[in-house]
Amino acid sequence: MAHSAANPTGDLITQVLQALDKTEPLVSVDAFPATPFVDIKAALDRLKSRDMVRYDTIERQEALLELEGEEIAANGSHEARVFEAVQKAMEGLSVRELEETIGDKNVVKIGQGKAFKEKWISKTKDGKFKAIAESIKDVTRGQLETIKTTRTHPDTKTLADLKKRKLIRMQKVISFKIHKGNKFALEIPDEATDLTADMIASGSWKTATFKPYNFKALGAAQMAGALHPLNKVRAELRSIFFEMGFEEMPTNKFVESGFWNFDALFVPQQHPARDLQDTFYIADPPLADKPRAESPEDKKDYEAYWNHTKEVHQDGEFGSIGYRYPWSGEESLRLVLRTHTTAVSASMLHKLAAVEGPDGRPPPARYFSIDRVFRNESVDATHLAEFHQVEGVIADYNLSMGELMEFMDIFFGKMGITGLMYKPAYNPYTEPSMEIFSYHAGLGKIVEIGNSGMFRPEVLETMGLPKDMRVFGFGLSLERPTMIKYGISNIRELLGHKVDLNFVQNSPAVQFSGKA
């Protein structure tokens, strides 16, 4: 908005008024050929709103000389130059001599042909050019000179002709034809912007000139709400999940029991992830109630599931020998800030086990969530104690690893990430587990983009899911793709109190194009 054109200098306004005082109507391109159109218009609009001028917009075609046209206007047409050179040499000129005199082979080549045709020159027996005309008239040069000064030519045929010869070009010029308005004066009078109490008291309002309202003026740009870059990427990812048939999981609880965050996922109670260094524990209240149904429709026996989980940890089942340690019920009830949204996936899968599909068995399902998780990490440029996890879970009968890798290709392909690579990894709840990598051309290196795996029978069958139902899960952070997308190297630019609001306000929308 603060463009200079919207606020023309007083100088230009004074110049317009003075020029108009002498010449009326005044044509802006003639009076101010070098002043930008927008500046003139802004000045005129200011004067017009005060009834000091009236103006009409006029459009006209102007003829401008091309480079060759300029040269002819300055030095004469090719044929005229040939004639003049030949006429000056008493003995006539050979082609080479002519070329030397004029210094441009091209001028000689075109010029001598035309000069012959016009019967200005002829050739002697010894091959020299000789002038035969007394004098000539260089019509083209004359026409171009006229155009150079007037930017047009009275004969439209001449204009068309010169344009065809590429000596001139036509250009549309917008100009203003300006007349004096009813309140014309040589300068804008002093203007009051507001009617004040003082003016009313003194009566000066009666004679004051008020600045006219400009109802067309745009208001100052307002700072409106803007989606945070993480939200923009999140929205894009959600639409990819929905498009691929996923259902969104309810991830509204940040606090979970150790049971859902760890035990249901067959994470042993001595696992380092459960250490204070890795997990935030809640002090008050320290313990959750035993797992239970949260809605009357949920007919699962949570108490039995809790006990069954204990048995599988201690002694194993479903082909597993278990961990062989005394499982503590109290440890499983300790409240934690969830360390992954897989805690929610666990409770979703447990519920799925009770759903009867058309054939009486749990139907295939696809769940996803994108929400916050917490880890007791040392904070650095790329790690905070909290981040957003993108999680997907696919449950189906007889799923194979090949199908899952195919799915990953499609899913990440939609985000523009291609050429996935896998590395065997370890999660207590999946076997096999695979870290997912991709080559990032922008960074010039291979980056880890996620973690994945097939849930173990100890997890699924304890929940009551059928043996031949396989469940594949994967997780990635929302921050990583967002940082890459926006070229951010420090996570604090994205999260926390140091975030630059201008960046949030102006970050472009993300559209995963499906291209890397």
- Which positions lie near ligand PHE, rule CB under 6 A? 340, 342, 391, 427, 430, 451-453, 473-475
* Nearest-angstrom CA–CA distance, 438 and 453: 17
**Amino acid letter, 493:** E
Minimum gap (Å) between residue 303 Cβ and ligand PHE: 26
**Shortest distance in whole angstroms from residue 505 CB to ligand PHE:** 32
* Residue with smaller CB distance to ligand PHE, 176 or 472: 472
Q: How far is the CB of 271 from ligand PHE (least distance, A)?
A: 13
Least Cα distance to 312 among 264, 279, 243 occurs for: 264
In angstroms, rounded to a whole number, what is the distance separating the alpha carbons of residues 407 and 473? 11
Is the sign of the CA dihedral 376, 378, 382, 384 positive or negative?
positive
Rounded Cα distance, 435 and 480, in Å:
15
Residue 214 CB, nearest approach to ligand PHE (Å)? 59
Sequence-ordered list of residues with C-beta below 8 angstroms from that of 81, at least 6 positions apart, any chain? 75, 102, 107, 111
CA distance 483 to 65: 53
Residue number, 327 or 367, with CB nearest to ligand PHE:
367
Dist CA 389 CA 496 (whole Å): 17
**CB of residue 262 to ligand PHE, shortest distance in Å:** 11
Least spacing, CB of residue 446 vs ligand PHE, in Å: 18
Nearer to ligand PHE, 162 or 353 (CB): 353
What separation in angstroms does the CA of 95 have from each of 83, 117, 128, 237? Answer: 13, 17, 7, 76
Measured from the CB atom, is 69 or 475 closer to ligand PHE?
475
Minimum gap (Å) between residue 477 Cβ and ligand PHE:
9
SS3 342: helix
Which of 471, 475, 431, 469 shows the shortest CA–CA distance to 452?
475
With CA atoms as reference, report the closest residue to 176 among 26, 11, 10: 26
Q: Residue 309 has what DSSP assignment?
A: H
